[in-house]
Homo-oligomer: A and B are copies of this chain.
Amino acid sequence: MAMKLHEYQAKQVFADAGIPTPASELASDVDGAVAAAEEIGYPVAIKAQVQVGGRGKAGGIKLVEDEDEAREAADEILGMDLKGYHVDRVLVEEAVDFTNELYVGITMDRGEGKPVAMVSTKGGVNIEEVAEEDPDAIAREHIDPAFGMHPYQARKAVYDAGVDQSIARDVSSVLTTLYQLWDDRDGSDAEINPLMVTSDDEVIAADAVMNIDEDALFRQPELAEMEEEAAGGDELEQKADEYDFDYVRLDGNVGIIGNGAGLVMTTLDLVDHYGGEPANFLDVGGGAKAERIANALDMVFSDDNVDSVVFNIFGGITRGDEVARGINEALEQFDEIPKPVVVRLAGTNWEEGMEILNEDLVTVEQTLEDAVQRAVEYAGEVNE
């Protein structure tokens, strides 16, 4: 999983490494945004700081020419709901006069098991679309992770992409720095889109994406601090962060809890197979103890869309008795169980778990298929 930096954070990281970025300032209220715009000098762009793609099209980025426009734009953007994300900060940024927009990026090519550097002269648009419609427009250079990126590789990617010779050296240098950052900071993706080219052949990073490998945050204390600030998403996702669950919210009404991503996904698929609609993906991971199980139930109960819950645990390192204890704990606090819970336990200590489980509080099923069918049935009953 990747931790996404906000644009303003990524730009700071890039600027610190020597990549040219526009002058900018973060603001969390309208007056602050206007003051920042005055300081930077018009025209400026006012950009919503939320972790969603396509901010521009959704109205989250406005170019303004004077104070009135700035005030209006800041007022509009601050507080808006952008694809489900609340905007509470904007980046006020020098508007760059550009003649051309490039794309440069580094990511891990999982098929090859090695990093890949990418350059395209078709920047400024959705690069995934370019990749699909005109794959040759993106030059790709795989990097040997033991050696790192050789300077000739940066040049090769840049020349292969057809970047003009007048800026080739600068773009190579940005790409080299970007790889260095990606490597030093345990990046999963590092992108500049667009890398703007000005009329006097300067390049400048007009947007910045930096996603960090969460598994490596332990050795990136500076970035881990940024994560606090970057944390966003809706209430449930924030709760999942807090509880440290792999959680994805979906549109249905059958809540799903299980151990192991593959098994949880399979449970989702079975809910669908039996005519239900999954409300979420929630993986408690390996070796979950009672408290963690209780937290998982708390999470799913907090989702108003959920009408029934299926608990599917196949014990390996996770022990059935611990799971049962957690379920009991979570449910015993209620006078009335808020949503019906179906439990299926298998694997390590499942018999002990069955004995511990308070069958007054939950419905027990022996097989995955039966458990899912029962939960779908419950959810349907509620909906009727």
User: Chain A interface (Cβ within 8 Å of chain B)?
Assistant: 144, 146-147
Contact = CB atoms under 8 A, between A and B. Distances in A.
* Copies of this protein chain in the complex: 2
A283 to B, nearest CB: 31
Nearest to A144: B146
A105 B146 CA distance: 23
A146 to B, nearest CB: 4
Contacts of A147: 146
A21 to B, nearest CB: 27
A228 B147 CA distance: 33
Nearest to A146: B146
3 contacts: A144-B146, A146-B146, A146-B147
Contacts of A146: 144, 146-147
A321 B358 CA distance: 103
Contacts of A144: 146
Nearest to A147: B146
A144 B147 CA distance: 10
A286 B147 CA distance: 32
Instruction: Enumerate the 3 nearest inter-chain pairs by beta-carbon distance, A residue then B residue, closest first.
Output: A146-B146, A146-B147, A144-B146
A279 B80 CA distance: 86
A147 to B, nearest CB: 5
A144 B146 CA distance: 9
A138 B146 CA distance: 28
A83 to B, nearest CB: 43
A144 B145 CA distance: 13
A368 B22 CA distance: 67
A147 B144 CA distance: 10
A147 B146 CA distance: 5
A263 to B, nearest CB: 34
A18 B46 CA distance: 46
A147 B148 CA distance: 9
A144 B144 CA distance: 14
A113 to B, nearest CB: 15
A366 to B, nearest CB: 47
Nearest to A148: B146
A183 to B, nearest CB: 13
